[in-house]
Amino acid sequence: MEIRQCRTCFKSYPLNRDNFGNTPSGGFRFKCRACMRAYVKDYSSANKDGVAERSAIRRERKAFAAGNGYTDEDILEIRKILEDRCAYCDAQLADRWHIDHMTPVVQGGRTEVSNLTLCCEKCNFEKHAKNVEQFLYWRIQRGLKNRNPRVV
């Protein structure tokens, strides 16, 4: 396995998504996850106006994408259909799951039961603004396990 040295702390780790995370374009970052967390924390403290502005934009998008919404019963039904497993990588969800827009809000997806599924935290963060097809293809390109696409 390839090794990468973090450009901030200079520690070496195996080059994988657990140690370096992915960029939105799909490559690996050059800072380890610990250094990225510290960077984001420092940046957010120093740029409170920008953070507040991005938060307002997210709220606007969420309100726009509200659609018909969903209920707790809808989420329980999705969990049952998915057998409490991630829709993308098939990891056990247990109590750590995210509600995911299969067609992202930024691509015109709405917050409706027909556009929602459940996934693990890692898949949700890696998916970014990709739709299901783009994300599954992205995973195939990286040799990652895909669940038989039984998305809800």
Looking at per-residue confidence, does 151 or 117 come out higher?
117
Task: For the chain, give every domain's residue range.
Answer: 68-152
Quick one: pLDDT at residue 150?
A: 47
Place of tokens 């997210």: 58
d(CA 20, CA 27): 10
Quick one: pLDDT at residue 106?
A: 85
Mean pLDDT across 50-62: 79
Quick one: pLDDT at residue 152?
A: 41
pTM above 0.75, yes or no: no
Q: Each residue of 73-86: pLDDT tens digit?
A: 999 999 999 999 99
CB atoms within 10 A of CB 27: 9
User: What tokens does 7 get?
Assistant: 């450009």
Place of tokens 């039961």: 113
116 forms bridges with which residues in the sheet? 101
Q: Each residue of 83-139: pLDDT tens digit?
A: 999 999 999 998 889 999 999 988 888 888 999 999 999 999 999 899 999 999 999
Instruction: Give yes or no for residue 25 having a pLDDT over 80.
Output: no
Q: Are 82 and 152 in contact (CB under 8 A)?
A: yes
Q: What percent of the chain has pLDDT over 70?
A: 91
Residue positions counted in the chain: 152
Structurally, what CATH architecture does the domain formed by 68-152 represent? Answer: Orthogonal Bundle (1.10)
Q: Can you say whether the dihedral through the CA atoms of 72, 110, 96, 34 is positive or negative?
A: negative
